[in-house]
Structure 1
Amino acid sequence: MAKRKKKQNLIYLSLIIIVAAIIGGSWFYSHHTREVSNSYAVSETATLSSSARIYNSLSAIQRVNLPDQALVKVNRYYLTSNDNDDTYAQINYNGKNYFVRATDIELKMNNEINSYLTQSGLPHAKITKQILSIFEQRGYSTSSGNPRGVVIHDT
């Protein structure tokens, strides 16, 4: 009787472990897969930040090591619809595609518009900051009170 009870307890323990493994695996998978809600193609050049986390795919868990400040080509951006709504960039390095958070790359501003804006001496602000406090409002207005123009350039 004791042997039968011990065998039954082992079966229950095995079932509990299997159920826990299934629940844990599905939780782990759901928190590491990234569902794409939108994407668009680009052709940009960028450098990787030293803290960049690089992956082989959007659902990859293990990171890939690339050199710090590596020059990469950005092919596409992906907006994920998980908890954080992160934007990932698909990058190409030495002929292979990788994925990295868009905040972990620094775009090389090498087109004509960027060159013109850099040479114009206009103040620069990040969109997340209060732009009104950086720009002088009176210097840009006309006698009618309308502004001469505002440059907002996001590339």
Structure 2
Amino acid sequence: MVQGVVQAWREGQAEAFLPLVHRPGDAQADFGRAVINIAGQSSTAAMFVMTLTHSDAIFCAVFPRECTLTFQEGHRLAFECFGGIPRRITYDNTRIAVARILGHRGEGVTTEFLKMKSHYLFESHFCRVRSPTKRTC
């Protein structure tokens, strides 16, 4: 009896969706991990991914490790692949870019990240701490 009531209730519920709207020129970038196989040997590699959120274009590069150099090279290769530089890039709070969290005042970025931003002239946006799924303002 309870099962029938629950099933009827579920069938009556409409699925709710919140449409995501991404502006042209916005991107998201992050590192992930990938297990790769080279000559029969499994190894973990760092995978740099940048997505143009409006068009869903994706760039991915695999590196031996996640560090400032591979972060910068990942950006350079992504910009080359896309044929331009996004206006604004959203990041989680990676230590490669963020030296310290300043609470509601924002982030204190690393010197190397500031140099890269100054060279390519893009805006950066960082997710709220401990909320990596909230990539909007």
Larger Rg: 1
TM range (shorter): under 0.3
Question: How does the TM-score come out when normalised to structure 1?
Answer: 0.22
